[in-house]
Amino acid sequence: MNLFLLLFGLFVMPGPVITDAGYCPDVMSAACPVRDYYPRNLRITAVGQDVYYFVDAQPPTHVCFVPLVVYRQYGIGQEAPSTCIWRERLP
pLDDT above 90 coverage of the chain, percent: 65
pLDDT at 6 over 70: no
In tens, the pLDDT along 20-38 reads 999 999 999 999 999 999 9
The whole-model pTM stands at: 0.81
* Torsion angles phi and psi, residue 23, rounded to 5: -140, 135
Mark out the alpha helices in 1-91 (DSSP H runs). 3-8, 68-73
* Torsion angles phi and psi, residue 90, rounded to 5: -100, 145
Fill in the amino acid letter for 43.
R
pLDDT of 13 reads 58
* Torsion angles phi and psi, residue 35, rounded to 5: -60, -35
Answer yes or no: are the C-beta atoms of 60 and 89 closer than 8 Å.
Answer: yes
pLDDT of 42 reads 87
* Torsion angles phi and psi, residue 32, rounded to 5: -85, 115
